[in-house]
Chains A and B, each alone.
Chain A
Amino acid sequence: MSCNFKFGGMKALLAIGGLLCVLASNATAQSSSGQLTITMNVQSSITLVFQNNPSVGTPGFCPLTNGGTNNVGLDMGTAAFPGNFHTATCVNYTHLTAADYQVSSAFDVVVTKANSSSPNYRLAAQISTPPPANVKWLLNNVTLTNTGFTALDAADAFGARITKTLQVQVKNTVAAQVLQETITFLATAN
């Protein structure tokens, strides 16, 4: 009798054990794994933007159109030699000599670097087309040409505002016309 009871107990234990195994099996959440491998190559880079000078709006600091980008406009209005005539109140107008006048306006250049150990950069500029005779385009008194980049600065600081003054010098013999140039600035990390 005792032997039969023990045998029955074992069967019950086995059954419970089996049930627990089944329950445990069902309780384990199904899952699946995968791997996504990412590859890239980081490269140093710099960018150049034109900013309005903090003094924008005052004489000598005309507002840029599309400021904060690398493609801006700078309208210096209409000017003439006689009578110091100029329509833009934001430009500086001066008679350089008895036969030349100059209109100028300043703006800022900001060059930013990323992932670079370069300490500074050099800046150069070039005009797009040869100006008419007796017309000069200058930046900070450096005459620009369309035949190549003219060096402006050798070691400008990244992230700093570099104020540049664009000057247009016109002799009083120049015929009435629109004077227009696209000036390309080139910043190169040193």
Chain B
Amino acid sequence: MLKKYISIMRGAALAALLMCGASLAAQTTATGVINGTLVNKNGISIQFDTDPAGVTLGAAGTSAATANFGTVSAFGPLAAGVTRPSVTAANFTVRTFFDVQVIQGGLTSTTYTLTANLAAAAPTGLNYKVDAITLTTALQTIQINGAYHTDIAHNLDLVILTAAPGAGGPAVNTPITTTINFTATAN
């Protein structure tokens, strides 16, 4: 009887050990899932780049760049990247070039329309032109079929009256700053 009891107990212990082993083996693997989600949004962005023929832009490659013409005059020397295509009795023009690059993603649009306007009225004695289009505070269309993902060069002309300060001409020997807003709209 005792032997039978011992035998039963041994069997039970062995079974318990086997079950424990099986349990340990099950804990060495695990599974899980990640439910990944990405909302691919369409978008468009504009940036200004330095043109090889123009002045070096400040903050080039961004959407808030600066172009410094330096000291300009009807007859004196000009900074690198600035030319003077015309001088008349009434005015002279200084010119530089800058590039606009518009990037899009997720759109079926193949081209964009570029518009521009002055952030504030032009200072006395000055006119600003982009690609020969005189800018005002109202939106003006500069380009209707701009290609994406490439630098597109634009002329920036400053037409400066030759009149003396106080007689219709601009202030002299003082920095004059003007901001031009550009908007690229997907066609």
- Chain B residues whose CB sits within 8 angstroms of the CB of A117 once the complex forms: 164-167
A177 adjacent to chain B (CB < 8 Å): no
Residues of B within 8 A of A33 (CB): 46, 63, 181-184
A43→B64 contact, CB < 8 A? no
A114 touching B74 in the complex, CB below 8 Å, given contacts A30-B107, A32-B46: yes
Contact of A35 among B119, B128, B172, B173 (CB under 8 A): B119
Q: How far is the CB of A115 from chain B (nearest CB, A)?
A: 5
Instruction: Collect the chain A residues with CB atoms within 8 Å of residue B67's CB.
Output: 36-39
Q: How many residues of A contact B (CB 8 A)?
A: 26
**Complex contact B46–A115 (CB within 8 A):** no
Output the nearest chain A residue to B42 by Cβ-Cβ distance. A30
Q: Is the CB of A115 within 8 A of B63?
A: no
Secondary structure dominating the interface of B: strand
Give the CA-CA distance A34 to B119 in the complex, in Å.
11
- Which stretch, B4-12, B17-25, B28-36, B154-162, touches the partner chain A? B154-162
The interface residues of chain A lying within 8 Å CB-to-CB of B128 are: 38
Give the interface residue-count category, chain B.
35 or more
Would you call A40 and B74 a contact (CB within 8 A)?
A: no
Residues of B within 8 Å of A113, CB to CB, are 162
Chain B residues engaging chain A, CB cutoff 8 angstroms: 42-48, 57, 62-76, 87, 89, 92, 94, 98, 102, 104, 107, 109, 119, 125, 128, 156, 158, 160-167, 169-187
Known A38-B68, A42-B173, A117-B166; 4 more pairs at CB < 8 Å: A29-B187, A40-B176, A42-B71, A42-B125
Interface set of A (CB-CB < 8 Å, partner B): 29-47, 112-117, 159
